[in-house]
């Protein structure tokens, strides 16, 4: 019974943490904060555990339409928090509806600067609609950690 109480307490803390997560901040700040949380988690727990946690679509790094992706510098998707079908895929040739090679652009940006924002179009996992998206990215070691916001 005592173990059950510990699990219930842990679950309640997780729910409260998710509820309290950046609720009073604009979506762009929430995206930046989520990327920083993933990088901090990676520093504390290592690359493999972080990738597994980000790949969990119900994990701690998914907040509604905010989700994290992790790519290597060759455009391989190591983690995708919203679409398991994207996990393990190379996105170098993926284009948005306007023909923009957004991953190629992000790789070039990440080579020149440690972090930044990028605009393109992508499907919103909450409503399934193609929408304008602003992606915040941050390079960490040989990885790019990303979180975007949808601009309806």
* Euclidean distance between CA atoms 150 and 49, whole angstroms: 27
Q: Is the pLDDT of residue 19 over 60?
A: no
CA torsion through residues 126, 128, 131, 137, sign? positive
Banded model confidence at residue 15, pLDDT cuts 50, 70, 90: very low
Report the pLDDT value the prediction gives residue 64, as an integer from 0 to 100: 84
Mean pLDDT of the chain: 87
Q: Is the pLDDT of residue 89 over 80?
A: yes
Q: Is the pLDDT of residue 134 over 90?
A: yes
* Euclidean distance between CA atoms 115 and 146, whole angstroms: 10
Of 3-17, 21-35, 39-53, least confident by mean pLDDT is 3-17
Question: Which runs of E-coded beta strand occur in 54-94?
Answer: 62-63, 66-72, 77-80
Question: Which runs of E-coded beta strand occur in the chain?
Answer: 62-63, 66-72, 77-80, 115-123, 130-140, 143-151
Report the pLDDT value the prediction gives residue 23, as an integer from 0 to 100: 57
Report the pLDDT value the prediction gives residue 125, as an integer from 0 to 100: 86
Q: Is the pLDDT of residue 36 over 80?
A: yes
The predicted model gives 86-92 an average pLDDT of 96
SS3 72: strand
The predicted model gives 134-152 an average pLDDT of 95
Domains of the chain: 26-151 (3.30.450.20)
Burial class (CB in 10 A: 0-12, 13-18, 19+), 100: middle
Banded model confidence at residue 20, pLDDT cuts 50, 70, 90: very low
- Could you tell me the pTM of the whole model? 0.82
């Amino acid at each position: 019974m005592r173990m059950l109480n510990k699990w219930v307490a842990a679950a309640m803390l997780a729910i409260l943490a998710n509820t309290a997560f950046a609720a009073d901040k604009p979506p762009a700040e929430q995206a930046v904060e989520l990327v920083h949380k993933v990088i901090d988690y990676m520093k504390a727990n290592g690359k493999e555990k972080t990738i597994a946690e980000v790949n969990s679509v119900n994990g701690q790094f998914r907040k509604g339409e905010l989700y994290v992706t992790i790519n290597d510098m060759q455009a391989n998707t190591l983690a995708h928090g919203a679409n398991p079908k994207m996990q393990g895929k190379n996105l170098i040739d993926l284009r948005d509806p306007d023909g923009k090679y957004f991953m190629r652009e992000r790789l070039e940006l990440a080579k020149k600067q440690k972090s930044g924002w990028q605009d393109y179009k992508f499907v919103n996992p909450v409503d399934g609609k193609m929408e304008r998206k602003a992606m915040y990215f941050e390079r960490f070691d040989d990885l790019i950690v990303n979180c975007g916001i949808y601009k309806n």
